[in-house]
Amino acid sequence: MLSFIFDIVFVLSLILSWVLSFDLILFYFLFIFFYLFYFILFLLLMLSLYLFYIVCLLSLILSVYCLLIVFDDVLYNCPDLFILSLILSFMLSLLIGLALLYLVY
């Protein structure tokens, strides 16, 4: 059931990013990134909850770091739809990471 929920969120985030950017390269990048990332997270959840907790915290830190890079780029350059879709994608990954942490505890 949990994997079904994440599949729905995954597909919705891909559709949102593709609609906002009109860029197939971003679409394929997000597909590979989200699929591999959450597949590894589910494998770690099966192996150990403590290891899964550490990986979730690292993913949250990475998401915040990527958001800071993107916002820095927005401040100094003219924002476009590609940057907006990246921001939304990283926000979605951050929310999914927080949901995973909530489900573990």
pLDDT digit string, tens, across residues 27-78: 556 666 666 666 666 666 666 666 656 666 666 666 556 556 555 555 555 5
Please give the Cα distance from 85 to 16 (Å, whole number). 8
- The verdict on pTM exceeding 0.85 is no
Domain definitions of the chain by residue range:
2-104
Mean pLDDT over the full length of the chain: 60
Token duo for residue 104: 């573990």
CA trace torsion 34, 35, 40, 41 (10° rounding):
50
Residue 105, classified by CB atoms within 10 Å of its CB into exposed (0-12), middle (13-18) or buried (19+), is exposed
Token duo for residue 67: 């958001």
Angle at 20 between CA 2 and CA 1, to 5 degrees: 5
